[in-house]
Structure 1
Amino acid sequence: MSTPGEVLTRFAGAWERRDAQAIADLFVPDPEFVNVTGLWWHTPKRIAMAHAFGFEKIFGNSHLEFVEEKVRMIGEEAAVVHGRWRVINQDSATGDTTDPRFGIFIFVMEKTGQGWKAVAAQNTDVVEGHESIAVVDGKSVPQSYEDSPTSRGL
């Protein structure tokens, strides 16, 4: 990649092609990747395997697009890239199509001899109208604290 922000275009393109290896190839040989449920992968092989599973079972008919991006350079050879995303046509566990999902990806990028590569990535769902998650009866449940500064957009 010739710029750090290109990671978003490349990730979305690989997603559309259902190319799990192309996603893994965006990363350095010793990456860190945390998905929306907190699963944590430490090698490109595991990143590829997880995305291949996702394309087969969850995201086979989906469309991912980045709707907002922000790139912050850290010197000349590192950057942090944020991308707000939207996914439509995800398959549920019962085979139905789910409502659209929204989230934010963060990539830590490094300039290497082969261009820009992702060192780490973390993916987070956006749960509108909620400020936190609590565990209730063993299950994660979105929580709303009506008078919190975050619920007022501060």
Structure 2
Amino acid sequence: MTRTYETGEDVTLAFFDAWNAKDLDGLADLFVEDADFVNVVGFWWTTRRQIRKAHDYGFRKIFQEARVEIIALKSRVLGNDVEVVHTVSTLDGQTDENGITAGQRTAVITIVAHRQREGGFRIVSCHNTDRVDGADTHLNTDAGFRPASYQTG
């Protein structure tokens, strides 16, 4: 049975709970069928099925022991049926390509939630961005892709 979420904030919190539980079906159920999801490296998935498949891969290969924790949340109601929810979260326990636990990451995740005809909010769009403290932008040079700061002194 599909759970009903009364607000965009409720469905956002459910996303983090499902992610931490590695609950693929529960996570996928939070999204509308033609949802969009952009991950931290710019992969753009455009269906619930693709979102589920990508998270399945991530939970098996990258985030087996990882947990996310919301440290800030702001919801903006755009009408009776649409909310934009911004979160700042930390991620701990990710492993690298060799299975070694990596350091903590901080992300800004933006979720757009829409009230469905049958009631309750579902996610129509999610965008996940890594925060790089001290950086103003990224540069792609001959030496590679890296964060950059233009601030002096």
What are the superposed Cα offsets for residues 25-75 of structure 1, whole Å, 9 maximum, x if unpaired? 111111111000000001101000000100000000011111110000001
Which of 55, 61, 64 in structure 1 is aligned with 2:65?
A: 61
Q: Please list every run of 5 or more consecutive structure 1 residues that lacks an aligned counterpart in the other structure.
A: none
List per-residue Cα deviations over 1:65-104 (Å, max 9, x = no partner).
Answer: 1111000000111110001110001111121101100011
Question: In structure 2, the residue corresponding to 1:75 is in which secondary structure?
Answer: coil
Are residues 1:23 and 2:31 paired?
Answer: no
Letter in 2 for 1:25: D
Shift of residue 8 of structure 1? 2.6
TM-score by length of 2: 0.92
Long gaps (5+) in structure 2: none
Answering whether residue 150 of structure 2 is matched by residue 145 of structure 1, we say: yes
**What's the offset of the Cα at 1:138?**
7.0
Partner of 2:40: 36
State the number of aligned residues: 148
Aligned twin of 1:123: 128
Match for residue 88 of structure 1?
92
**How far apart are the structure 2 equivalents of 1:138 and 1:31?**
36
Q: Which segments of structure 1 move beyond 3 Å, counting only runs of 4 or more?
A: none
Pair 1:58–1:146, CA change in 2 (3 A) = same
Do the aligned partners of 1:19 and 1:52 also contact (CA within 8 Å) in 2?
Answer: no
Question: Structure 2: how far apart are the matches of 1:139 and 1:35?
Answer: 20
Matching of residue 2 in structure 1 with residue 35 in structure 2: no
Structure 1 position 114, deviation (Å):
3.4
The two structures have a TM-score, normalised by structure 1, of 0.91
CA distance, structure 2, for counterparts of residue 20 and residue 140 of structure 1: 32
Aligned CA RMSD, in angstroms, stands at 1.4
3-state SS in 2 of match to 1:11: helix
Q: Percent identity?
A: 34
